Structure 1
Amino acid sequence: MEKKLLHECPVCGKNLRVRVLQCPGCQTRIEGNFESNASRIFYLSGKELEFVELFVKVRGNIKEVEKALGISYPTVRGMLDSIIRTMGYQVKRTPDAKKRMEIIERLEKGQIDAARAAELLKSDTAEAVTEESKEGEK
């Protein structure tokens, strides 16, 4: 069973260096201090790579990813955010994006109807979302 390539030392967190290259066919070994030119894409798990492949295949169309995987918009966005973090980048989400995600999640849970969700998405006030969230949880 092949193991995922490590990029950081599990003890101190510093970047690891490749020291040995080996041919799986003839077992030839080359030792040295090789600079890693591995893409950050190699940080991803098999499941994350499958998601990225699908995302690229559908040209970044989140609706198509939703359909293909049978998951919701917030779940797709969450997976993208997780992959972005795994690759070592920061996820920059504006408060407005957070607010929209909360509204969509509440719509999916049946806490509000589509008309109210549309109204909230058009509004600029986060207070309405916060107040209604508290009422829906009672």
Structure 2
Amino acid sequence: MGKEVLGKCPVCNSETIVTKISCENCNTTIEGEFTLCKFCRLTAEQKQFIDTFIKCRGNIKEMEKELGVSYPTVKNRLEDVAAALGHKPQPIIEDDGRKKEILERLNAGEISFDEAMELLKG
């Protein structure tokens, strides 16, 4: 059996193409320009991460244990793989301090739990 195809050029890091496909059984050969699937372009480390992710069924806590890394490291690696697959990063929602103010008011007894929940929804 042959080696795994390189998704990135080892010299310039550009995406590669496959130009020849051969069947070991019947010796049929097809030549042309074939693109690789997006998973073929992942690094070996990224592929291993995806394999572990699937093994853990996407459970981040299990990923932390399996990889021996922190939650933020798992999230960062997941974002890295998502970006490598062409997915845009999730926007970071800025908290303007409103949630903290609502929770402080709740803690001080100024508003009820239900009022706080309603304010947090809006």
Higher helix proportion: 1
Aligned to 1:22: 22
Aligned to 1:33: 32
Unaligned stretches of 5+ residues in structure 1: 100-119, 125-138
Mapped to 1, the partners of 2:26 and 2:85 lie a distance apart of 31
Percent identical? 26
Taking structure 2 as the reference length, the TM-score comes to 0.58
Greater C-alpha radius of gyration: 2
Mapped to 2, the partners of 1:48 and 1:7 lie a distance apart of 13
Aligned to 2:6: 5
Aligned to 1:92: 90
1:52-96 superposed Cα distances (whole Å, 9 cap, x missing partner): 111111111101100111100100000001111111221123234
Displacement, 1:35? Answer: 4.0
Mapped to 2, the partners of 1:93 and 1:4 lie a distance apart of 34
Mapped to 1, the partners of 2:50 and 2:75 lie a distance apart of 12
Displacement, 1:45? Answer: 1.6
Paired letter, 1:60: G
How big is the alpha-carbon RMSD for the aligned residues of Structure 1 and Structure 2?
3.3
Displacement, 1:31? Answer: 3.9
Paired letter, 2:29: I
Alignment length (residue pairs): 96
